[in-house]
Amino acid sequence: MLKGTALLLLQGCSGLANRTLDYLPPHAHLPSRRAIETAAAVQTDLPKETCVTHEVAPMETVPRLAQMYGVTERELTEANRLKPGEALQPGQKLIIPHPARYKNIVPVYENDRWQYIVIHHTAGKTGKALLVDRIHRERGFDEGLGYHFLVDNGSLGKGDGQLEAAPRWIRQDEGAHCKASNMNVRSIGIGLVGNFNDQKPSAAQMNTLIQLVALLAIHYQIPACNVLGHCMVPGAKTDCPGHRFPWQRFQLSLQQVMPASSMLARS
Ligand SMILES: [Zn+2]
């Protein structure tokens, strides 16, 4: 069924026609809550002869990186002389030998707590998961990066529209992104790098966001009316995700890529 949904997503929005959405085997390494599938939202073909250096984000793993870059786990471990099962360290630089492409990987888990999706901007011009994790720790969030996903903007060595799945998502923990209306507990927090009071998000960021939100909304049966900007949450006193976030266009795009059944309220 989900595979059919993926096709609908691709056919529903011509702007995403050159992007792929695959379903890949489950992660073997994931804790308590089993990843039932993973999906890729954005694909960029890379020249075959290229070697890429990848800076490891918090809780990134060899299997996930192998999926992202279309290489085998063995190729990755051998190129970097990693011991079997060796945990990667945030900030560690890895050589990706001859990556076939880059894909955004979205692990999906069985969990009925996710009833809303809340969208944020980081309010900073540049960012990546490793940096936002540090900033949030300095702000007093013991578990670091408060969002579940971060959509990069091409700064600090990350790609424009690159998706980073944060540790809170991998662990299926509550977020630290929106206290109002108890949203930390029941919503998926997505942060986009940028200050959208100053400028709009990039087209690549919006493409990733639309595909990610549609995929999560369909999987967790979250109705479109429960996809909110931070400032739209009752009780939230903020202008996040910024005055220039194109909310109407985002909602229209979402309607195009989400099948009608998923627009209905939860029963
Ligand atoms: Zn926010």
- What is the tens place of the pLDDT at every residue in 171-192? 999 999 999 999 999 999 999 9
> What is the rounded average pLDDT of the residues 5-10?
26
226 shares a domain with 141? yes
Q: For residue 29, report the distance from its CA to the centre of ligand 1, in Å.
A: 31
- Predicted confidence band of residue 258 (pLDDT cuts 50, 70, 90): confident
User: Which CATH number belongs to the domain containing residue 219 in this structure?
Assistant: 3.40.80.10
**Cβ–Cβ < 8 Å for 233, 178:** yes
CA distances, 203 to each of 64, 81, 107, 135, 249 (Å): 25, 38, 23, 26, 12
Last residue of one domain, picked from the residues 106, 139, 170: 106
Q: pTM for this structure?
A: 0.81
Q: How far is the CA of 120 from the centre of ligand 1 (A)?
A: 4
Say which residue, 186 or 26, is predicted with more confidence: 186
Last residue of a domain, one of 39, 71, 106: 106
Give the distance, in angstroms, between the CA of residue 62 and the centroid of all CA atoms in the same chain: 18
Q: Does 266 map to a domain?
A: no
Confidence of residue 12 (pLDDT cuts 50, 70, 90): very low
Residue 165 phi/psi, 5-degree rounding, is: -85, 120
**Neighbouring C-beta atoms of residue 86, cutoff 10 Å:** 11
Residue 264 lies in a domain: no
Residue 156 and residue 67 share a domain: no
Say how many Å lie between the CA of residue 14 and the centre of ligand 1: 30
CA of 30 to the centre of ligand 1 (A): 28
- Ligand 1 centroid – CA 213 distance (Å): 16
Domain boundary among 46, 73, 106: 106
Range of the domain at 66: 4-106
